[in-house]
A and B are shown apart, each in its own frame.
Chain A
Amino acid sequence: MTRQSDLQTVAGGGLLDRRVFLKKGLVFSIAALTSESLLASINDHHLPWMQKPGDTFSNYGQPSPHERKTIRWTMANRDASGNGVSWTPLHDLEGTITPNGLHFERHHNGVPQIDPKQHQLLIHGSVKTPLLFDMDALLHYPMTSTFCFIECGGNSNAGWRDKPIQTVAGYFHGMASCSEWTGIPLRILLDEVEVKSQAKWIIAEGADASIMNVSIPLEKAKDDCILAIYQNGERIRPENGYPLRLIVPGWEGVLNVKWLRRLHISNKPTMSRNETSKYTELLPSGKARQFTFVMEAKSIITRPSYGYKLDNKGLYQISGLAWSGRGKIIKVEVSADGGKTWAEAELQEPVLAKCFTRFRIPWNWNGDKAILKSRAIDETGYVQPERNELISKTGKHSYFHYNAIVSWEVSNTGKISHVYT
């Protein structure tokens, strides 16, 4: 039974105490994606899968055919099909770990099919002993895991547009994914080559057909970077950097160089395309910010969000993701009245630094128009900004590093749209 005392609101628009989940007897309403049909009533004595043996074993499991709508949405240059992106369908997923086949992609010239026997990593430059490692050698090194998100510096860039984009959450914010990356702490190899004291940068280069390269401060490389060989327990997939990827936790996705073949230890950055033309932010003054590596705190409500429809008044669980490149998320606040009042959401354990954090809060929708928002606060005290705050600081032409609060408007018919407030 739901006691009236359980449903005391803690903020406007019907937000309930986050701990109400722990109490029994609450009946949640159903938020359905509009494209999904409702279940027909079925006489379960005649369900075909209960009448005969099922399929045999499989060498590698695949999602149910009924989940084929849960895919990466891809977008490539029409004249150069290997140059583009694919988005993680955040609106269709739960928990914090992104399935490997749904991790977002950004490629400049297609996915190389690399033979690991022919793949080598060269570390050279401002070092005492330049060294070349093949994959067999690297597999003998001590490994560790880091659970972290990778987010493209250009993620959510539709937010700069003057009109709010009407699309599902994943195709707006899904150039962010989260995995357990396992591999060799980079500092172990840097110790072996003996980096010279004047070195300040490390230029990482990939083995794809664009030979993409980018400069990273050496201090970060020594701190928490990993030469990843495994993603979520299996060898990294080709589209995510097989057989070797540099993981730079909490920093722009572009620095997490896939198909890693070379690390040039240098006294200065190379000023490549990805640190000059791109991944720099033009400010209203006409000057631009450069080397803006850290992905600041962001959050987004994934359910309900654009594409869902609330069929009935009543109790819903709001669920979403928060993350910060500076460390742990310490709090996520949710508003159901467009930001007038806020309530603290429950953070699902474990809460890890530079990692997706799942938040949830119960909400009793009374059937009136409501505007849902979430804002993340990280352990440095940084508070995710409202859109107008962000724009007042950076203007509208930064393109990268859009991390403003996202607002979903629920109409009195339960339809959800993206709005600016």
Chain B
Amino acid sequence: MYTLRLTVFLFCFVGFNIFAKEKGPNLGKSVSLTFIKQWDMDIFPDGKGLPKGDGTATLGKDIYKKHCLSCHGVDGTGDSADELAGANHTLTDNPPDQTIGTYLSGFTTLYHDFLKGQPETYRVIF
């Protein structure tokens, strides 16, 4: 009985290891760094991944009007989408105001979300 149990145990153990080490057929294609750069849109909090660029608040205002205002309201105080600015309450108030200034993502996160969408689609990312 003991031997049988041991055999069963060993069989399961070996069987499990075979499964755990299952290999793939290596059908991936190698890619160049240029290719990866074209695909990789990740931006990290330290700014890694940010492209060179420029802009002004005035330019931003026009973009906001065109692409953001319909959901986020005239002053970013929220409409059918999240409140983005103009917090009247702190995070410990009831209700709290969770805005870009108080709670929402930092600059790199926002930039990523703007950058990656096409002009006609990025307005709905949030």
Contact A273 B24 (CB under 8 A): no
**Which among B24, B35, B43, B82 is the interface contact of A192 at CB below 8 angstroms?**
B24
Does A262 count as interface, using CB distance less than 8 angstroms? yes
Contact A191 B23 (CB under 8 A): yes
- What separation, in Å, do the CA atoms of A107 and B124 have in the docked complex? 10
Q: Mark A109-139, 1 if CB is under 8 A from B, else 0.
A: 1000000000000111000011111000110
Contacts of A33 in B (CB 8 A): none
Contacts of A138 in B (CB 8 A): 27
A82, A210, A213, A268: which has the most chain B beta carbons within 10 Å? A210
Contacts of A188 in B (CB 8 A): 22-24
Interface segment among A23-31, A241-249, A280-288: the answer is: A280-288
Contact B24 A184 (CB under 8 A): yes
Contact A271 B117 (CB under 8 A): no
Does A380 count as interface, using CB distance less than 8 angstroms? no
Does B105 count as interface, using CB distance less than 8 angstroms? yes
**Which among B35, B39, B71, B103 is the interface contact of A277 at CB below 8 angstroms?**
B103
Interface size range of chain B in the complex: 35 or more
Contact A284 B121 (CB under 8 A): no
- What separation, in Å, do the CA atoms of A373 and B14 have in the docked complex? 45
Does B106 count as interface, using CB distance less than 8 angstroms? yes
Q: Mark B65-77, 1 if CB is under 8 A from A, else 0.
A: 0000011000000
Contacts of B113 in A (CB 8 A): 210, 272-273
Contacts of A142 in B (CB 8 A): 22, 24
Contacts of B45 in A (CB 8 A): 271
A131 and B31 in contact (CB under 8 A), knowing A211-B116, A271-B106, A397-B95? yes
Interface of A is mostly: mixed
Contact A133 B28 (CB under 8 A): yes
- What separation, in Å, do the CA atoms of A193 and B29 have in the docked complex? 10
**How many whole Å from B35's CB to the nearest CB in chain A?**
8
**How many whole Å from B126's CB to the nearest CB in chain A?**
7
Contact B94 A271 (CB under 8 A): no
Chain A's closest residue to B22 (CB) is A142
- What separation, in Å, do the CA atoms of A83 and B82 have in the docked complex? 13
- What separation, in Å, do the CA atoms of A192 and B25 have in the docked complex? 9
**Which among A79, A82, A192, A262 is the interface contact of B28 at CB below 8 angstroms?**
A192
A132 and B29 in contact (CB under 8 A), knowing A122-B39, A191-B23, A397-B95? yes
Does B12 count as interface, using CB distance less than 8 angstroms? no
**How many whole Å from A203's CB to the nearest CB in chain B?**
6
Interface size of A in residues (CB-CB distance below 8 Å): 52
A132 and B28 in contact (CB under 8 A), knowing A82-B124, A270-B42? yes
Chain A's closest residue to B43 (CB) is A270
Contact B124 A108 (CB under 8 A): yes
Contacts of B25 in A (CB 8 A): 140-141
- What separation, in Å, do the CA atoms of A193 and B85 have in the docked complex? 43
- What separation, in Å, do the CA atoms of A82 and B125 have in the docked complex? 10
Contact A277 B104 (CB under 8 A): yes
Contact B44 A268 (CB under 8 A): yes
Contact A271 B103 (CB under 8 A): no
Chain A's closest residue to B81 (CB) is A77
Contact B28 A189 (CB under 8 A): yes
Contact A210 B40 (CB under 8 A): no
Contact B24 A191 (CB under 8 A): yes
Does A78 count as interface, using CB distance less than 8 angstroms? yes
Does A205 count as interface, using CB distance less than 8 angstroms? yes
Does B3 count as interface, using CB distance less than 8 angstroms? no
**Which among A211, A261, A272 is the interface contact of B109 at CB below 8 angstroms?**
A272
Which 10 interchain pairs have the tightest Cβ spacing?
A131-B28, A80-B124, A137-B27, A286-B91, A211-B116, A277-B104, A286-B92, A188-B24, A276-B105, A209-B121
Ordered by A's residue number, 12 sampled pairs between the chains whose C-beta atoms are within 8 Å are A79-B80, A80-B123, A80-B124, A108-B125, A129-B28, A132-B31, A188-B24, A210-B116, A270-B43, A282-B98, A282-B103, A286-B91
Residues on A close to B: CB < 8 A? 77-80, 82-83, 108-109, 122-124, 129-133, 137-138, 140-142, 184-185, 188-189, 191-193, 203, 205, 209-211, 213, 261-262, 264, 266, 268, 270-273, 276-277, 282, 284-286, 288, 396-397
